[in-house]
Amino acid sequence: MDFEPAIPYEQTFDALYGLQLGEVTPERVTATVEVSDKVKQPMGLVHGGVFASIAESITSIGTARVVIEDGMSAQGLSNQTSFLRPIFEGTIHATAIRRHKGRTTWVWEVEITDDAGRLCSLIRMTIAVRPLPTAPV
């Protein structure tokens, strides 16, 4: 159920903002990001795009680890992010739970919490399952 990424982690966007995976199963994925100035917007709170990026990354990874065995890829199709509470410091905690496993789409719900366990963002991700792209000729 593991797969070889096309690009080394250190060279990816996820590495840029510091995504650290925890549990990765076909039904649940967890991750953390340490808060630093590089993930904040000018007002000093974590940029909303970081929450959305975490959700898309962990749900794509959770989906890909299953569908790649069948020659398929996982790509974000829809990202609906609701911001409930800001995070200013500490660690961003993310937990994704798969809600639907279809032939062409998977749907996940992601909760983003702070160090106190307070709900900061709710995200619904739809991941498209498509044939693996072929290398350009």
Residues serving a catalytic function are 56
Side by side, the strands of the sheet bearing 91-101 are 20-24, 28-34, 91-101, 105-113, 119-131, 72-83
Answer yes or no: are the C-beta atoms of 89 and 45 closer than 8 Å.
no
Neighbour tally for 5: CB within 10 Å: 10
